[in-house]
Amino acid sequence: MAIQLSLSFITIDRNGQVPIYLQLESEIRNAVLNGTLPIGVKLPSTRQLARDLKVSRIPIQNAYEQLSAEGFLTSKRGAGTFISEVSVENLRPKAAGTAFADKIEHSRLSERSRFIERTLATTRIEEVRPFRPGIPGIDLFPQKAWGQSWRKAVKQSVSTNYGYGNMAGSLRLRTAIAQHLRHARGVKCTADQIIITGGAQQAFSLLSFSLLDPGVAVWLEDPGHIAIRDAMTAMNSQVFPVPVDPEGIDIAYGKKHYITPKLIFTTPSHQHPLGTTMSLQRRIDLLNYAHENDIWVIEDDYDSEFRYSERPLVSLQGLDRHQVVIYVGSFSKTLFPGVRLGYIVAPTDLIDVLKAAQGMLTHGCCGIVQAAVADFMEMGHYETHIHKMRKAYKDRSQLLVSTLQEKAGKYLEVSNPSAGMHLLAYLKQGDAKALCKMLWQEGIDALPLTMFSAQAKVPNAMVLGFACATEAQIVEYGAKIARILEQQFGRA
């Protein structure tokens, strides 16, 4: 006679969102998979279980029927319902940490995925807390105007919105971007030179995939953008970290210490994360060096719209006479990161290959989002929003500077940013990395400057983003930083 088990381990949440039959199904399915219910055992009758669990028979019948259809249970006429005689052993997770499990895991991982596992580029990216660098002030985003553009895009059921569309992206959006860039950034381009991407990061991956053979040399600013450093390393490029001096990426250092690269990555308008602006002389030297040696230069113009003291600088691309610069921009800072749109402005000769690569890697970006952003730009909301945010970020940066200087000036020296969305807070004592860990426990997302360095010796400083924090948060969390510093070092 089959053994009949009780299902006393099942607990039902009567006030929850999940219907009772789904809760039952999931509890029994999991119990079979993890071995709590061995194969062959008989389940209580629906009547019995309804009594035990104090529920009606209907959800139990539903759950038994569904699990029978999935093959977990077998009903035998006149005998009852049993756990099926199928081997679920292989579906059970292997015990973690055993030598066997480790061996299987590793033999299935590529060298590349082992590197990918260690990247810091995605650290804590999901949750936005005060002072997270690089996140815009979403609280000030014009939801109403965006909603209108969005609804229009949804209604326009044309194939460009609902089909795959052009692999270079929507012509309407490319036209609006070209117009904005010519006017605001001095970029020399037409809509035909633009490829729409899923954010700047996808642009970097697409460019690395298309332009770099394994083993070729690339120069990246150090300290610099972690996500591109790791993406290019994962693509098997030889990544050479080039120091940054007050004029920008130190080309002389690169020439002296490294082989000639195929590509140079730079953030000339606002060096990421140090915040310096590349001098005109350095721009000219870089463009000449690139032209003479057939080097591509990626200009990442990620937050250049936000300059507070003078007008934004003309882009490096705008100075380029030899088509060496590939300009990359993003809507992550000017709109919001979740929109996942960016763009490449490339020399005309590269467009066909980048378009084909975009088709090969991604099949393009969401048509409706592109149409909504195009409308938002055409209606003038984009320019208005940037203008508004420039003022708001200036105010936020000044408030953070004054709060920290006033409350924590004994422990910190704070940079006064003239551009961008973050500032640097230099520690007079203690270690920035350890402090950032402590601040995280208190709800603050600050990053140590060392995190952005490959080998550069950087100051003992924290990177604090002021754009995403409201005035109230700046005051509250600025004071919190001061309190924590006082607790740590006050008595020392």
Ligand X SMILES: Cc1ncc(COP(=O)(O)O)c(C=O)c1O
**Residue ranges that bind ligand X, judged by CB under 6 A:** 134, 199-201, 225, 267, 272, 300, 302, 330, 332, 337, 342
As a whole number of Å, the CA-based R_g of the chain is 28
Residue closer to ligand X, measured from CB, 64 or 452? 452
Residue closer to ligand X, measured from CB, 25 or 445? 445
Q: Smallest distance, Å, CB 422 to ligand X? A: 9
For residues 215 and 236, give the distance between their C-alpha atoms in angstroms, rounded to a whole number: 6
Query: Are the C-beta atoms of 173 and 336 separated by less than 8 Å?
Result: no
Residue closer to ligand X, measured from CB, 170 or 304? 304
Residue closer to ligand X, measured from CB, 123 or 260? 123
Q: Smallest distance, Å, CB 230 to ligand X? A: 13
Tokens 């060298």 map to which residue?
111
Query: Are the C-beta atoms of 371 and 153 separated by less than 8 Å?
Result: yes
CA 83 to chain centre: 44
Q: Smallest distance, Å, CB 100 to ligand X? A: 39
For residue 378, give the nearest of 152, 163, 167 by alpha carbon: 152
Q: Smallest distance, Å, CB 300 to ligand X? A: 5
For residues 295 and 213, give the distance between their C-alpha atoms in angstroms, rounded to a whole number: 14
For residues 25 and 54, give the distance between their C-alpha atoms in angstroms, rounded to a whole number: 16
Instruction: Classify the phi-psi angles of 380: left when phi > 0, otherwise alpha if psi is within -120 to 50, otherwise beta.
Output: left
Residue closer to ligand X, measured from CB, 275 or 337? 337
Q: Smallest distance, Å, CB 298 to ligand X? A: 10
Q: Minimal CB distance to ligand X: which residue?
A: 199
For residues 387 and 398, give the distance between their C-alpha atoms in angstroms, rounded to a whole number: 17
Q: Smallest distance, Å, CB 337 to ligand X? A: 5
Backbone angles phi, psi at 217, to 5 degrees: -85, 140
Q: Smallest distance, Å, CB 461 to ligand X? A: 17
Tokens 């014009």 map to which residue?
142
Query: Are the C-beta atoms of 377 and 455 separated by less than 8 Å?
Result: no
Annotate 415-471 with three-state secondary structure.
Answer: CCCCECCEEEEEECCCCHHHHHHHHHHCCCCCEEHHHHCCCCCCCCEEEEECCCCCH
Q: Smallest distance, Å, CB 7 to ligand X? A: 48
Query: Are the C-beta atoms of 474 and 422 separated by less than 8 Å?
Result: no
For residues 205 and 132, give the distance between their C-alpha atoms in angstroms, rounded to a whole number: 24
Residue closer to ligand X, measured from CB, 152 or 340? 340
Residue closer to ligand X, measured from CB, 80 or 337? 337
Residue closer to ligand X, measured from CB, 332 or 370? 332
Tokens of 146: 């965006």
Query: Are the C-beta atoms of 198 and 338 separated by less than 8 Å?
Result: no
Contact partners, residue 478, CB within 8 Å, separation at least 6: 399, 400, 403, 404, 407, 408
Number of H helices, E strands in the chain: 17, 14
H/E run at residue 150: helix 143-155
Residue closer to ligand X, measured from CB, 227 or 399? 227
Q: Smallest distance, Å, CB 244 to ligand X? A: 13
Residue closer to ligand X, measured from CB, 63 or 220? 220
Residue closer to ligand X, measured from CB, 33 or 451? 451
Q: Smallest distance, Å, CB 136 to ligand X? A: 10
Q: Smallest distance, Å, CB 425 to ligand X? A: 18
